[in-house]
Structure 1
Amino acid sequence: MAYVLKRRVDYKANQSALTVSFPALITEKGVLVSHLRFLYSRRNKSQSWLERNIFAVELLLNFINAHLNTCTSATELLRSFVDTLCFGSIDNSHNDTSNLYWHPRKVEDVNVLLGHINFYCDYLDQIYGHELPNLNPLRKATKAEERMRWCAYYKRESNCFLNHLSNPSKNRFSMVRSIQGPMNHLLSIESVHRFPEEHFERFLQYGFINNRTGVIDYASQLIVMLMHYGGLRLSECFHIYTSDIAIDTKSGSAIVSAFHPSDGASPEQGFSNRREYLNTLFRQKPRNEYKRSHRLYSGWKQPLLTNRNLSFDVMLFPNNKATEFTWLLQQYLAVRSDGDHPYLFTNSVGKPESKKNFIQKYKRAIERIGLEASKHLGTSPHSHRHSYGYRLSQAGFNQLEIQKAMHHKSPFSCLVYLQPEDSEIRNTIRGIGL
């Protein structure tokens, strides 16, 4: 009986390589070794990317198993797979002869899944040559397709810092995939609203006080300040070491740096980077290299690094918040439970604070002041980053300055944070009164 299972395995590429833990796909024929090798070749990708790739290949294998008796080419099978992702496998009579019972997926999701399958298929074609049929072969592009790909290329390259080094071949866009996903919808939406400023000071001051014991959660307050006044993503806060914070002796302002979790400079001499530092002294990995279900996992969005030691400085705004941060940091360090690790934020027993635990405490803090935790209401952790970008815009910072303050690689990435809300536009229209 055909089946597909996902299990975590230890993989060793060769005798001299280190053992790496990967999720593996197992069929009735055994482990899908070629996919393990593919994942190993992409091991520098984020955990989210690896998990999504595994999910895409798992879906395709399940689809193939459901159509084993179908006499069709590999390319036509993939075409049917994409159609099934788009429209589902259940007919109008609520029957499904394939027994997959898939519901229709969003256009964007279908294109992401197809892209992951193309990556894997290209790897197989590169390794095995043309001994096996190409699942999604290239074909000659039409003139319209070729022009559209050139337009997309120049738009993409115009945002690239080193675009002057790029010299594409004239034939680069003359070929396209035989099977392509549906066209993505063009949307202008505000995915996450800004945190309501009128509630923020009350949230920061009273949200993280235990009503029963009166104990203040200084660590959570500091994390919220880094997001709201420093524009950090939540995941970036959990990579900060205690040694990554310095104090300006003249002003008393805190100077916070965020380092690349693995390649950033070590806080101590004798180590090539932070990965070696963590492994040697604490037997730990960088937090973005754990599997997503691990309590220590925290993602890393590859922000723009601005220092040679592979870090960027957090730009706290308004400036007086840097001195408030220093005072709050002193209160926190005086009561912090220390542990055998270098991270700034710890839990009650001295272990590195987990992202999941903080989110639970954050939700309780929101509810403690009478609000509901929801991204659509602007009370999610990421809403503070939106507030930071909008506050910079309202203060007169230009687009390039905001890009650098928010550590985006493209100057256009920060635009979503600067958009006015629909309610603000309606109030402006009402105010004009024409």
Structure 2
Amino acid sequence: MSFVIKRGVNYKAGKGRPSFRFPALLTESGLLISHLRFLHENRYKSQSWLERNTFAVELLLKFLERQVSSFSSATELLRGFVEALQFGTIQDGKDNSGLFWSPRRNEDVNVLLRHITDYCDYLDSIHGTNLPKLNPLRKSTYAEERMQWCAYYRRHSRSFLNHLVKPSTQQLSLARKIRGPERHFVDVEAVYRFPEDRIEDLLLHGFVSASGEPDYASQLIVMLMHFGGLRMSECFHIYTDDISIDPKSGSALISVYHPSNGKSPDERFSKRREYLAHKYRLKPRNEYSRSHRLYAGWKGPLLTNINLSFDVMFYPASKAVEFTLLLQKYLSTRPVSEFPFLFVNSKGNPESKKNFHQKHNRAVQRIGLEPCKSLGTTPHAHRHAYGYRLGQGGFSQLEIQKAMHHKSPDSCLVYLKPSDDEVRQQMRSAH
């Protein structure tokens, strides 16, 4: 009986090499070792990327197992895979494939194809571009050979790559045989800003316990996002030692370090990875699986200090002093904790993204709003509000890039777009 199952495994590239935790695909023939090796080569990419790549290959393996005999050529098979992703496999209430896939968004289909392309390129680099002697799509059940055959076909037809690169005149007709669906460009980002007229209400009245006690930790996290422009995940990488106070102004000075390679607060260790491992038996929080309670992502912001960190820039600047006053209240009531992270839960363990997200939802509801991305009431909407406020304050694009720690100056443009209502108001004012 054939199957494809995803499991977490510990992988070592060789004797004496460090062990890494990866998602692995198990088939009736055993582990898909080549994919584990591929993930190991890409081990410095985000946990989200590793999980999504594994999911893409898992889908292709399942499709190959179910659909090989249904197509007369590789071209038709690969076209069928794209169509199955885009339109689903259920037709007229029936699914002869047994996959029972629902239709996917065009953007999602293209992301999955991009991941498959990356893996197929890796197989080409290892095995070359010669077609295996046996046709594994028809005669073999070995998942490795199937994927190697797909890599061969992708290389020669460029069918998986046409949505990524502009083909030459000679390649144009072949590239159009199998292509990802057209991406829809929808300008909806402008509405994702937390309403400025409700932020103080959220901080003062949203984050309170059932007994009415303030939740200082959640208030601080919101201030870091709304007035400091941090992503939610970045807040959970901050250590207590990463904060100092300017003795003249009383402003909080906060550095956000690279989770693994940033400078250790303990001089006995060179990097934070080593510091966490030796003192707390922990990994950097971005290296846990997404389902782990300690997981916190890392989007690769622009680091501006030699110690592999960047500094939080509060706007308006007066919020840095307010942060200091709130921080003092938090630290005086903070549960005793053995961990270095600034934000901990009631038991003294590192606070989780999931727990804070739930607190944020309840706080939003407590002040009479609905937690909804399109209404700008989710945690990431605070960063959008920060970027838009900088634009309204007259900061240049390069200055906003610096404040939001983007590697590209164009990345901040999405935060500067006015909403439809604001454009209409401007049109009315023009008369």
**TM-score (structure 1 length as normaliser):** 0.89
Please say if residues 220 and 358 of structure 1, whose CA atoms lie closer than 8 Å, have aligned partners that are also in contact: yes
Note closer, same or farther for the CA distance 1:147–1:311 as it changes in structure 2 (3 Å cut). Answer: closer
**Structure 2 letter corresponding to 1:182:** P
Structure 1: which amino acid aligns with 2:88?
G
Q: What is the CA–CA distance in structure 1 between the aligned matches of 2:306 and 2:184, rounded to whole Å? A: 39
RMSD: 2.3
Q: Please state whether the residue corresponding to 1:135 is helix, strand or coil.
A: helix
SS in 2 for 1:2: coil
Deviations 1:210-234 (A, max 9, x none): 2x42211111110000001000000
Contact 2:262/2:272 (CA < 8 Å) preserved in 1? yes
Alignment of 1:365-376 (within 5 A): 365-376=363-374
Give the one of 114, 137, 145 matched to 2:155: 137
Q: Deviations over 1:113-144 (max 9, x none)?
A: 11111111111111112253403124589xx9
The residue type paired with residue 215 of structure 1 is E
Match of 1:319 among 300, 312, 317: 317
Q: In the alignment, is residue 79 of structure 1 matched against residue 95 of structure 2?
A: no
Relative to structure 1, the CA distance from residue 305 to residue 192 in structure 2 (aligned partners, 3 Å threshold; closer, same or farther) is farther
Residues 338 and 346, structure 1, Cα contact 8 Å, conserved in 2: no
Would you say 1:279 and 2:277 are equivalent positions?
A: yes
Distance 1:127 1:145, change over 3 A: closer
The Cα of 1:71 is off from its aligned counterpart by 5.5
1:126 and 1:11, CA in 2 relative to 1: closer, same or farther beyond 3 A?
same
Stretches of structure 1 that go unaligned for 5 or more consecutive residues are 151-172
**8 Å contact from structure 2 (residues 303, 405) kept in 1:** yes
Output the amino acid matched with 1:220. Answer: S
TM-score normalised by L of structure 2: 0.89
- Counterpart residue number, 2:90: 90
Which residue of 1 is the match for residue 251 of structure 2? 253
Q: Which residue of 2 aligns with 1:9?
A: 9
The equivalent of 2:267 in structure 1 is: 269
Equivalent position of 1:236 in the other structure:
234
Measured after TM superposition, the shift of residue 68 of structure 1 is 3.5
Deviation at 1:371, TM superposition (A): 1.4
Take 2:251 and 2:60, find their aligned partners in 1: how far apart are those partners?
54
Per-residue deviation, residues 55-85 of structure 1 (Å, max 9, x unmatched) = 1111111111112434544454222211221
Please say if 1:330 is aligned against 2:328.
yes
Contact 1:390 1:418 in 2 (8 A): yes
Deviations 1:321-351 (A, max 9, x none): 1111111111111111131211001111111
> Relative to structure 1, is the Cα distance of residues 116 and 192 closer, same or farther in structure 2, using a 3 angstrom cutoff?
farther
Deviations 1:290-349, CA, capped at 9 Å, x for gaps = 001111000000001111111100000111111111111111111111312110011111
1:38 is matched with 38
CA distance in 2, matches of 1:147, 1:235: 32
Give the secondary structure class of the aligned counterpart of 1:224. Answer: helix
Matched pairs, number: 406
Give yes or no for contact 1:75–1:136 (8 Å, CA) kept in 2: no
The residue number in structure 1 matching 2:119 is: 120
SS in 2 for 1:53: helix
Tell me whether 1:408 sits opposite 2:406 in the alignment: yes
Asked whether the 8 Å contact 1:236–1:300 carries over to 2, the reply is: yes
Q: 1:328 to 1:375 in 2, by over 3 A?
A: same
Contact 2:256 2:312 in 1 (8 A): yes
> Would the alpha carbon gap of residues 145 and 227 (structure 1) be closer, same or farther in structure 2, given more than 3 Å must change?
closer
* 1:151-166 alignment, distance < 5 Å: none
Matched, 1:391 2:389: yes
Query: Secondary structure of the equivalent of 1:137?
Result: helix
Distance 1:32 1:75, change over 3 A: farther
Q: 1:45 to 1:186 in 2, by over 3 A?
A: same
The 3 A distance-change label for structure 1 pair 218 and 71 is: closer
Native 8 Å contact 1:78 1:136 kept in 2: no
Three-state SS of the structure 2 residue aligned to 1:69 is helix
Identify if the C-alpha distance between structure 1 residues 415 and 146 changes in structure 2 by more than 3 Å, giving closer, same or farther.
closer
Q: 7-16 or 385-394, which moves further after superposition? A: 7-16
Amino acid at match of 1:81: F
Contact 1:248 1:254 in 2 (8 A): yes
Question: 2:53 is matched with which residue?
Answer: 53
Residue of structure 1 equivalent to 2:20: 20
1:29 lines up with 2:3 in the alignment: no
Letter in 2 for 1:355: K
* CA contact 1:275–1:286 (8 Å) conserved in 2: yes
- What's 1:199 paired with? 198
Contact 2:335–2:347 under 8 Å retained in 1: yes
Cα distance 1:111–1:357, how it changes in 2: closer, same or farther (>3 A)? same
